Structure 1
Amino acid sequence: MSTVFEERPRAEALHAVEAELNYLRAGEGRPVSYTFEPPPGVPWTSGALEPRRVTIRDARPLAAAGELSLDKSGFERIAHTSALSDFSDDTAIPSIYYNESAQVLLKATGAEKVVVFDHTLRDSLSGSRATSSLREPVRRVHNDQTFVSGPRRVRDHLPANEAAQRLKQRFAIINLWRPLDVVEQLPLALCDARSIAASDLVPSDLVYKDKVGETFSFTHNPAHRWYYFPKLRPDEALLLKIYDSRDDGTARLTAHTAFEDPTTPEGAAPRRSIELRALVFWKE
């Protein structure tokens, strides 16, 4: 990743909001977060946060101009209406939405194979970090995988022989993020991968009941360029690059977080969304 980012002049004219994003405070070491209620006296998440006020620009004009993509900025918007209308049906999500999403990712990336391995439903009113079936939005800057845990996912979800072969070729992990209603509060902020430096990344433990995963937290960097898609609709979805094995200048990951939009009207509807994570494999 490069710390150099040349902003196009047209970006200066974009609609933007000023908002606080929660970064990890520098020097905090390796944070630990739990996916279940931790033992007594142990915090859900360690590592002090450092709120920073940043400019978050409207991404829609740049997206329409083709200036944002998975391989350039690390994220993009796609137009897609899901065949699934009831996301409260636990059986329909794997049987309908997983298959549908795999086809979306194959088309969007030109990949050869897609393996969907999990999803998370979120609700800003009813969700809780203590409830695995319905989580609350995450309000800290993060990325779902690291350069260590990305390859580990291949070994976790493919037979050993196939995993060994796939690890020799390009693969990625992509988060397909979709709102279930028009987003009126807590929209998703996305950081342009070209503005992220390697020194911003802090490996962090994510503790499950049966294993310990690894994600990235982020320390503040004034070079970060943040975007969002105002009033994102259910017939739109975001693709977020959370790992890419390619190391040739292609975006390898991005950072994201929910944030308090200061323009949100009083009484705005809760934010409801689903995010789905998938391994994406190319032939070479």
Structure 2
Amino acid sequence: MSAVLNCWPGAVTLPSVQAELNYLRPGEPGEGRPVSYTFEPPPGVPWTTGEMAPSRVSIHDGRPLAALGEFSLDRSGFAYRRHRSAVTDFSDDAAIRATYYAESEALLREATGAEKVVVFDHTLRDSALGSRATSALREPVRRVHNDQTFVSGPRRVRDHLPPEEAAERLAHRFAIINLWRPLATVEQWPLALCDARTIAPGDLVPSDLVYRDKVGETYGFLHNPGHRWYWFPRLRPDEVLFLKIYDSREDGTARLTAHTAFEQPGQSPDAAPRRSIELRALVFWPADSRH
């Protein structure tokens, strides 16, 4: 299946697929916020609350538009780039923290023009072996979400910087970016990305994310037929995606986007598991930056 998009200079024909994405059902008055646990919850408490509302959408092949330079963190809220990591064994946590963190910081500085990057966590995922009960290896997230909110974004600065520096950095532009890389060619459960320009404020649903020592906050999303979705077929380990998950700028710049794993139509049950690593980082620009 293909679609013709006329919202860029010249009509661009993009292959697309139809797939179900798990949005949130609108809550009833007094129902309370959705809640998700990062560890096994107490007996009788569900892992997640908030009823899903699966919705069938078109997901367009993003490769043709990426080749034209039509995606960027500040316009669409995500971007694509070729980049080969020096790390060959992602089961080695020490190598991830020593080598992958350093090269990711350099890559993010180059891609954004930031003066400082602080990586604050990473997550390995495996669609066959991962589990939400195992922090060392998670399963792909199969609901539409964003990793931070307009409330929790600034908290991350205070969590990871000394108080004086945090106060100074919070007075100027900063962002949080998710650097997403497959560890093998993606044959199942690829990542779908929503163009930030098609997200309305009313689509966002603040949700509690419960850790053992604190409660964070993420966004779930209500279905909006105006959402425009993309994926990058058969993404390889030498390709990465940048996902904007928070931006302090309020001038029309993309402040966040939405993403989710999805079941690709015709996905073979014998396809290789989807294995990936995502790394989240604070990105700071100079006080006088025009970025």
The one-letter code matched in structure 2 to 1:30 is R
Amino acid at match of 1:201: L
Q: Which residue matches 2:61?
A: 58
Q: Structure 1 pair 11/39, CA: closer, same or farther in 2 (3 Å)?
A: farther
The match for 2:195 is 192
Corresponding letter in the other structure for 1:61: P
How far residue 265 of structure 1 moved from its aligned partner, in angstroms, is 3.4
- Asked if 1:7 corresponds to 2:10, the answer is no
Partner of 2:265: 262
What residue number does 1:205 align with?
Answer: 208
**CA shift for structure 1 position 12:** 5.8
Name the CA distance, whole Å, in 1 between partners of 2:79 and 2:275. Answer: 20
Please give the residue correspondences for 1:1-284 in structure 2 after superposition, counting only pairs within 5 Å. Answer: 7-8=7-8, 13-27=13-27, 29-284=32-287
Following TM superposition, by how much is the alpha carbon of 1:59 offset from its aligned partner in structure 2, in angstroms? 0.3
The C-alpha deviation readout for 1:199-234, integer Å capped at 9, x for no partner, is 000000000000000000000000000000000000
Give the 3 Å change call, closer, same or farther, for CA 232–10 of structure 1 in structure 2: farther
What is the distance in 2 between the residues matched to 1:11 and 1:238?
A: 25
Q: Aligned to 1:13, what secondary structure does the other structure show? A: strand
CA distance in 1, matches of 2:62, 2:276: 19
Per-residue deviation, 1:271: 0.0
Separation in 2 of the partners of 1:116 and 1:196?
A: 27
In the TM superposition, what is the alpha-carbon distance from 1:7 to its structure 2 partner? 2.9
Number of equivalenced pairs: 280
**SS at structure 2 position matched to 1:190:** strand
The AA in structure 2 aligned to 1:121 is L
Q: Which runs of 5+ in 1 are unaligned?
A: none
Aligned counterparts of 2:77 and 2:13: Cα–Cα separation in 1: 22
Partner SS for 1:17: strand
Counterpart residue identity of residue 139, structure 2: E
Q: Which amino acid in the other structure matches residue 210 of structure 1? A: D
The answer to whether the Cα contact below 8 Å between 2:6 and 2:12 also exists between their aligned partners in 1 is no
For 1:195, the aligned partner's letter is T
- Alpha-carbon offset, residue 6 of structure 1: 7.6
SS of aligned partner of 2:280? strand
Provide the secondary structure at the position in 2 that maps to 1:161: helix
% same residue: 75
Q: Offset at 1:263?
A: 3.3
Instruction: Determine the C-alpha separation between the residues in 2 that align with 1:11 and 1:190.
Output: 21
1:153 CA drift (Å): 0.2
For residues 38 and 64 of structure 2, what CA distance do their matches in structure 1 show? Answer: 37
TM-score (norm 2): 0.94
- Tell me whether 8-17 or 96-105 shows the greater mean CA deviation: 8-17
Deviates more, 1:89-98 or 1:144-153: 89-98
Inter-partner Cα distance in structure 2 for 1:210 and 1:254: 27
- Distance across 1 between alignment mates of 2:68 and 2:253: 19
Mapped to 2, the partners of 1:194 and 1:154 lie a distance apart of: 26
Distance between the aligned counterparts of 1:11 and 1:188, measured in 2? 25
Query: Aligned equivalents of 1:101 and 1:215: distance in 2?
Result: 23
Seen in structure 2, the aligned counterparts of structure 1 residues 46 and 165 have a Cα distance that, compared at 3 Å, is same
How much has 1:264 moved relative to structure 2?
A: 2.4
In 2, distance between residues paired with 1:185 and 1:194?
A: 27
Q: CA deviation at 1:176?
A: 0.1
